[in-house]
């Protein structure tokens, strides 16, 4: 039973355009969501998070949107850069982020120059 789903295993965009990575979840108890970026041979790096009391959180080129009614969140990267090419993992937690993280399978983003 996969509680966090990233249905697109890969995404390819042109440099300068917007990248949109999607994530769906099934557990209504999740109230804290995170995005991690992972380069090959490195561990995941925390990117951005959002609490369920918000519907948007922005940090520079990265914005996460949360739609609680649809149990859906998305990560927008604008503008996309070749250095953004990596695998992006969505993760969710309960208790405001104090409980364990449940990860999706990841989406491999390729930004073409």
Q: Is 108 in the site for other proteins (CB under 8 A)?
A: no
The size of the interface with other proteins (CB under 8 A), counted in residues, is 25
**Stretch touching other proteins by CB under 8 A, among 13-21, 52-60, 65-73, 100-108:** 100-108
Q: In the bound complex, what is the minimum distance in angstroms from residue 51's beta carbon to other proteins?
A: 9
Q: In this structure, is the dihedral angle defined by the CA atoms of residues 110, 87, 95 and 30, taken in order, positive or negative? A: positive
Q: Is 69 in the site for other proteins (CB under 8 A)?
A: no
Separation of alpha carbons 89 and 36, rounded Å: 5
How far from the centroid of its chain's Cα atoms is residue 90's Cα? 4
Is the CB of 30 or the CB of 85 nearer to other proteins? 30
Q: In the bound complex, what is the minimum distance in angstroms from residue 4's beta carbon to other proteins?
A: 7
Separation of alpha carbons 78 and 45, rounded Å: 19
Q: Is 105 in the site for other proteins (CB under 8 A)?
A: yes
Separation of alpha carbons 80 and 13, rounded Å: 8
């Amino acid at each position: 039973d996969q509680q966090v789903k990233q249905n697109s295993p890969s995404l390819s965009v042109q440099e300068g355009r917007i990248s949109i990575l999607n994530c769906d979840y099934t557990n209504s108890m999740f109230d804290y969501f995170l995005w991690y970026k992972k380069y090959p041979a490195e561990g995941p790096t925390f990117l951005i998070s959002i609490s369920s009391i918000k519907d948007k959180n922005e940090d520079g080129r990265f914005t996460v949107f949360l739609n609680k009614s649809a149990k859906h969140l998305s990560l927008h990267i604008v503008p996309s850069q070749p250095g953004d090419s990596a695998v992006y993992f969505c993760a969710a937690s309960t208790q405001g982020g104090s409980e364990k993280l449940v990860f999706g399978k990841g989406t491999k983003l390729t930004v073409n120059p």
